[in-house]
Structure 1
Amino acid sequence: MARLKNLTPAENVAGQHFDTIIIGSGFGSGFFLLEALKHKRTGRVLLLEWGEIRSHAEQMEAGAHSAIKPGTTYTNSSAKPWNFTIGFGGGTNCWFGQTPRFHPSDFRLHSLYGVGRDWPFDYAELEPYYCEAEEVMAISGDEDMAAVLPRSRPFPQPAHILSTPDAMLKKARKDMHFAMPTARARLATDSRPACCANLRCTLCPIDAKFTANNSLTGVFEHPSVTFCAGARVDHLETENGLVRSVHFETGTGSHTVSGDLIVLGANAIHSPAILLRSGIGSGLTGRGLHEAYGIEAEVMLDGIDNFDGSTITTGLDYGAYDGPFRKTSGSALLYFENRWKFGFRPETGRWRQTLPIVIVVEELPRDGDRIELDPNGQPHVIGEAPSAYARDGAERAFNLLPEILAALPVERIEKRGVRPTESHLQGSLRMGTDPARSVVDHNQIHHVCRNLAVVGSSVFPSCSAANPSLTVAAMSLRAGRSLLA
């Protein structure tokens, strides 16, 4: 197993007191720690990670990010799987590196359209933190995106090379069709080579996408940080509205540490499970688990080839994203694939005349989709089928494809089925200003335990059709600065 310089056995920290204790090492925890280390109030930090530390080479050799299979850590009576990585870096390992920002309307869904919930801050407040997170991850992006998602700084890296169909759509739809913003490097950085479009992004063979391993190791190895791997947090102990201690298990037994600030950065299944085992919070704890809904389409092209772009997903189209239709059906984002996921066409000379499109649609969080504890105290996921709101949004977007693709020579468009998961679990500890309707406040501090911060996508009050990782990173920078500056 790979090592960090400050990796410490649990026995060496048991019974000790720390200024800050961080649970988990994924996007939320990593970017919170990045910001926290800039402030003296952070003090001495203990980081507890359930999984092991695997280097990129070890992940490649094993063909897996972690020895812990996510499905073994919870039981599930919902109709879908929930994907995540338990290990050093969390979701920074398994993600594809897609980094669109959330749309300004996503933060005001209820105010604009009377459905869902508003966020306790808006796009403008988060925008500077988006820029900071993009700098850390060296995001490649299309400056024309400012027409839809206003920005105060340029992208750190130039956009990836578009495929031929994307380039045609970009020319015809400059204010709606863009090169995908991504943490797959367009140009080599000090720690990452340029993306080579090998189309194996979940475990990038050349290590071109941003991960904790290749870009945040120095943060986790900071002299103020002590790191314990193989430490599964069981519960928190509270007194007088404060978390006083953290109880965790390792291969050598049970251990307890105390701290002044506790940062909960497990995922949207395991963070609420820890709080439920701790008896912390209201009946909203664990409720509202959700993710976006996705369907696949394939466009048969007439006379032009595809798959000549410089990364796995080259285009992003906002033609079905925002408008009054969101009162009754979900927003949709269209992802244009630069990979032959449905195979090549069989006709001689037309093998590459096909365009796969992923249609990702926002879902409305529902309290019936939730985390409970099973008789053994482990998380059990209860979930309903996708809502009519999400299904109608997907159907609407699919029906708009002929109009959106008008600049292409389209022979026919075929549905290729529903995607089993978008692998972006979120929303089980939602954020808001009203303690009766939310679990954490606008700074991601727990309404009941005021020295407990929650980071990660579990605090999202509503869904978006966009990938959540960049937003998690930006929010964690904001939370760290709000709490510690």
Structure 2
Amino acid sequence: MNVEIVIVGSGVAAAAVADRILKSKPTTSILVLEAGGKVKMKDFSIYQNYVATGGLPYNEYYDEAPPTRGCKGENRFTGNTEMSLQGSRLMMYGGSTVHWDGYSFRFKPEDFHLYTNTGHGIDWPFSYDHIEPYYGEAEGFLGVSGDSNDPSVPRSTGYPFIPFPYSLEDTLAIEAFDSLGLEYSHLPIARHGITDTTSPTAPCQTTGTCLYCPFGARYNAANTLDDMQTLESYPNLSVRTNAVVEKVIMDSKSRAKGVLYLDKNTGEYVTVEAQTVVIASGTVESPKLLLRSVSSFWENGIGNDHDLVGRNIITHPWITFETTLDRNPLHLQPEMAFPTLVSRHYDSEEEQANGKYVLINPPSTPVINLAQAMQDGKTRKEIDEMVSGKTTIQFNAMFEIFSHHDYQVTNLNRISHLGMIESLLNFNVNPTITNQMKAVEATATEVFKAMGATGPVTTDASWGAHHATCTTRMSDSPELGVVDANLKIHGVDNVYVCSNASFSTLSAVNPTLTLVALSLRLGDRLIGGQ
């Protein structure tokens, strides 16, 4: 088989690159290879089953739990902290946007100059001003609802949809932010709002079933790929599922011939020759593929002459702070299944050297089950006391931590339940990170106090790989990173890594919008035949 472009992976990066190219050159031959299978989206019977049972239709495409005594498990972890893969990614048609929350933040200008500003990490090979127009296009691609007048990040275009309104539950947090002089804004989120324009996507109905949206209102790359294959005239676009790419085949040190993949349906290996190879397999699988692609030209794996492939892996800790209020006179409870209020006050250049962070008012505060209370025979007075009495409140936080050469992902000589090579990850929470967490907790405690909280503050930190980045990081030179400013591997003419893996640094916010901006930018480059 011979194609112009082969893309490894079928998540949002693959969808954005392919969409960009085909809108300009609709007859381009593009083959998308996906290791996992496919689940039908926007299907009412699947939706009904999810609502009735709570069982997600794509659970089989998650990593299994790590090994324990008596349990084979999947993947291995070294270091003092497990950067869990279980639940953090989906290996299927559409990738992790099938289950993501949709948070769509822009990085801030200082995020592109981390080393210059702080001495940590490296700088990106371009500035915020360079990528800013692509941020606007990425917001359109994802269908982001947000506040176009939010001054926290410079912007030249507005959001495609107005922000979701603050909930009544946000009121206490907003009053506390105001009293403390903390900036806040509507959380930008990839859920379609109301529009007068023609669209195949229905607006969000706030059903609270975002993990399987029956309308396709929350962005999902599976829907994009479906539309490209059914609504558009792209005769040479093909997507193959259950295709595990084993290696990139090199013709020389500087040029790839194509890829070799295992067809899980037949058990046969298939060679695909391509003019251009785009690896869009995420932060964990992208470097593993390069490391497996050993040849006489690249004895340590493609792009790995300086031992940087798979290095510097980093993620966000997802922290939940919780305390109690003695009274809840307004009967405040969560109204929607997604947050609407965020403070980026400490996501600032002044905080950069210590690690920037954001606070999010989550919709996960425990609710009172009124129907159950009535079934239990509670009186109106008793129920009113339950709702207006002592209540739990929470904040979520993410903060930037800095990558280190020893933080690493490599291949493990075991095969997962999906037929993919398992991962070995090394990560450590060091004293600097611990001190950063204490600083964030101090701020959350101060806000809780301003809200009138009286109970102790508890802290729970999760170190999942949901936002993992930097394993093939972008740099000006091969001594500092794996890919150049155009996502092309240093020293190779036709292999690109379009993934969170190629981020130079992480910042304090979710990476998806920045990934889409980079993907659209790469699409423009490939349209030009560069």
Task: With the length of structure 2 as denominator, give the TM-score of the two structures.
Answer: 0.81
Which residue of structure 1 lines up, in the alignment, with residue 75 of structure 2? Answer: 75
Task: Quote the Cα distance in structure 1 between the aligned partners of 2:367 and 2:437.
Answer: 20
- Which residue in the other structure is 1:269 paired with? 284
- Listed as ranges, the gaps of 5+ residues in structure 2 are 50-54, 66-72, 295-301, 371-382, 416-420
Residues 290 and 363 in structure 1, CA contact (< 8 A), matched pair in contact too: yes
Structure 1 residues 220 and 117: alpha-carbon distance in aligned structure 2, compared to 1, 3 A threshold = farther
Equivalent of residue 239 in structure 2, options 219, 227, 240: 227
* 1:322 alignment partner in structure 2: 348
Is the 1:196–1:311 Cα contact (8 Å) retained in structure 2?
no
Give the conservation status (yes or no) of the 8 Å contact 1:296–1:357.
yes
1:190 is aligned to 199
Cα-to-partner distance string for 1:437-481 (whole Å, 9 max, x where unaligned): 100000100113220011110111212221111111111001111
1:201-221 CA distance string (max 9 Å, x none):
333355431112334422355
What is the deviation of 1:298?
A: 2.0
Q: Does the 8 Å contact 1:361/1:390 carry over to 2?
A: no
**Structure 1 counterpart of 2:184:** 177
Which amino acid in structure 1 is aligned with residue 159 of structure 2? F
Partner of 2:378: none
Q: Measure the CA separation in 2 of the matches of 1:227 and 1:130.
A: 27
- SS of 1:271's equivalent in the other structure is helix
Q: 1:90, CA displacement in angstroms?
A: 0.4
Confirm or deny that 1:87 pairs with 2:92: yes
Matching residue within 65, 70, 89 for 2:58: 65
Give CA-to-partner distance per residue, 1:217-251, whole Å, 9 cap, x none: 22355323122121110001102211102100012
Separation (CA, whole Å) in 2 of partners of 1:305 and 1:113: 45
Unaligned runs of 5+ in 1: 1-15
Instruction: Indicate conservation of the 8 Å contact 2:445/2:457, yes or no.
Output: no
Change (3 A) 1:33 1:108: same
Rate the CA distance shift 1:156–1:413 in 2: closer, same or farther, 3 A.
farther
Q: Supply the distance in 1 between the matched residues of 2:526 and 2:222 (Cα, whole angstroms).
A: 26
- What are the residue-to-residue correspondences of 1:361-372 with 2, within 5 Å? 361-372=399-410
- Aligned-residue sequence identity (percent) comes to 24
Paired position in structure 2 for 1:152: 156
- Partner of 2:282, secondary structure, is coil
Q: Which has the larger radius of gyration?
A: 2
Residues 46-93 of structure 1: per-residue CA shift (max 9 Å, x gap): 111111221123864562326333248962214131221111110110
- 8 Å Cα contact 2:311/2:471 also seen in 1: yes
Amino acid at match of 1:300: T
Aligned residue for 1:6?
A: none
Alignment match, 2:9: 24
**Is the counterpart of residue 110 in structure 1 residue 115 in structure 2?**
yes
Structure 2 Cα separation of the partners of residues 179 and 118 of structure 1: 29
Q: How many residue pairs align between the two structures?
A: 468
Shift of 1:403: 4.6
1:165 Cα offset (Å): 4.8
Q: Give the alignment partner of residue 244 of structure 1, picking from 231, 250, 257.
A: 257
Partner in structure 1 of residue 131 of structure 2: 126
Matched, 1:208 2:194: no
How much has 1:152 moved relative to structure 2?
A: 0.9
Give 1:429's aligned residue.
472
Distance across 2 between alignment mates of 1:59 and 1:288: 40
The answer to whether the 8 A contact 1:192-1:214 is kept is no
In the TM superposition, residue 316 of structure 1 has moved relative to its aligned partner by: 0.6
Pairwise CA RMSD: 2.8
Q: Distance in 2 between matches of 1:108 and 1:131?
A: 21
Query: 1:138 aligns to what?
Result: 143
Q: Return the alpha-carbon distance in structure 2 between the equivalents of residues 386 and 338 of structure 1.
A: 28
User: Deviation at 1:285?
Assistant: 0.8
> TM-score, length-normalised on structure 1?
0.88
